[in-house]
Structures are given as structure tokens and as C-alpha cells.
Amino acid sequence: MAAMLPAALAIALSPFALIAIVVILSGVRGRRNGLLFTAGWVTGLACTATLVVVLFRTADDPGSTSSAIADWGRVLAGGALIVLGVRQWSKRPRDQEQAEPPRWMASLDDATAGRALLLGSLLSGANPKNLVLTASATASIVEAGAHDVGLAVAVGLFVLIGSCTVLGAVGLRLAGGQRSLTLLDGVRQFMVAHSTVITVIVLLLLGASVLGDGLSGLGR
């Protein structure tokens, strides 16, 4: 289970997800839309992890085709994450330039219920970076020999850790009322200002880790 922890934390610390949930919570019908976004996030992450389990269910056998595919996939995905991290760094804001969140986030404060739900599921389950991290982490769980209840618990723990920051933001908003908005806005501003650095660090570290796991698997 320890193998999936870095990937789960990387998903949880996704700057865009945190910015999006804070904007939603601060907007019109923030509590309702925040809960729907969270439901979509958890569902998207759980569905992606479950799909990987189904596709790589025989990966616990080192000699199986599924295991080989998983290892080669890690090698390619790890290399892609490193390249993406380098590209992100090369496009970072220069000198006095300030980082800005994507334009589509500007309309989240008055998002409809359906859009909040859909956005949560897409950011967690269909985001390319999260897809790679979820696939790598879940494949590691299968390769470790987890089955039945143990497998379900491990996948559930991965989803919970990967969702902890979104769940925490919603919990703070529900428990703290209007006073929580000041703290959440501080988090949003920090994430906007440092999103590039956070993203690059996550991509490079996780890319190296995923690549190393893939090469190690191929060397078995």
C-alpha cells in the first residue's frame, strides 16, 4: 500500500482542483455545488481506479502480460511526466508576471449543479496527470497481491487520500460558515501564485518515481 501513497498525495495536492473547489465554495450556492463537486471528484477517481483493477487484475503474476504492460506503461508515463514537468517550468511566469488561473475557472462561482458535478469527475478521473498516477498506483496495489476485501480497502484508501484536500475544503466550509471563506481564499491565492512550482515539483518527483518503478519491474 505504501507504493500508492505518493501518487495519492500528488492527486490531492493538484493546484487546479484546490483552486476550483475554493472558487465554487465561495460562489452562489457554494455549499451545494461544493458537495456536488466533491461527489463527482470521488466518483471519477473511484471509477478510474476500478477500471485499472479490472484491466490489470492478473498483474500480480510477474510473468503475465498484464504485468509487462503495466511496467512498460510506467516507463512511458514516467518519462512523459518528466517531460511535462520540464515544459511547465519553461513556461513559468517570468520576473514580475503573475500566474493566473485558467479562464474557465472564472465562471465557477455561479456554476450549475450539473456543471459542478461534471467538473469534479473530469478533474479527478479524466485529467491526464491523474489518469497516469491512478493507473500506476492501482496497478501497484494489484501487483502487491491484494485481493477481494484487501484490494477494495486499498483502492478505497487511495481514493480517500487522493480526495482529502477537496473533502477538507468542503468540511471547513460546512463547519466554519462564512468565516471559513477568508482562510479558503488565502489557500486559493497561494495556489494561484505557486501553482507552476507545485505542479513542476510534483511532475518531476512522481515522474522519476513512476519511471523507476517501471524499470525495476522490467528488470525482474
Helix axes 65-90, 128-143, angle to 10 degrees: 150
Is 106 part of any domain? Answer: no
Type and span of the H or E element at 136: helix 128-143
- pLDDT band for position 105 (cuts 50, 70, 90): low
CA–CA dist 88, 196 (Å, integer)? 7
CA atoms of 3 and 7, how far apart (whole Å): 8
Q: Are 185 and 91 in contact (CB under 8 A)?
A: no
CA neighbor of 30 nearest in space, from 184, 196, 210: 184
Q: Please give the mean pLDDT across all residues of the chain.
A: 82
Q: How many domains does the chain have?
A: 1
Look at residue 147 and give its three-state secondary structure.
coil
149 within domain boundaries: yes
Q: What is the mean pLDDT of residues 71-77?
A: 83
| DSSP structural state of residue 125 | I
In a domain, 65, yes or no: yes
Q: Is residue 127 part of a domain?
A: yes
How far is Cα 185 from Cα 18, in angstroms, rounded to an integer? 11
Question: What does pTM read for this prediction?
Answer: 0.82
Measured between alpha carbons, how far apart are the two ends of the chain, in Å? 20
Q: Do the domain assignments include residue 103?
A: no
Q: Look at residue 49 and tell me whether its pLDDT is greater than 70.
A: yes
Give the model's confidence band at 45: pLDDT under 50 very low, under 70 low, under 90 confident, else very high: very high
Q: Using the 8-state DSSP alphabet, how is residue 14 labeled?
A: -
The verdict on residue 101 lying in a domain is no
Tell whether the model's pLDDT for residue 107 goes beyond 70.
no
**What's the alpha-carbon Rg for the chain, to the nearest Å?**
18
Is 158 inside a domain boundary?
Answer: yes
- The answer to whether 5 and 149 are in contact (CB under 8 A) is no
**Considering the domain boundaries, does residue 203 fall inside one?**
yes
Domain that holds residue 200: 2-94+113-218
65-90 helix and 180-218 helix, angle to the nearest 10 degrees: 130
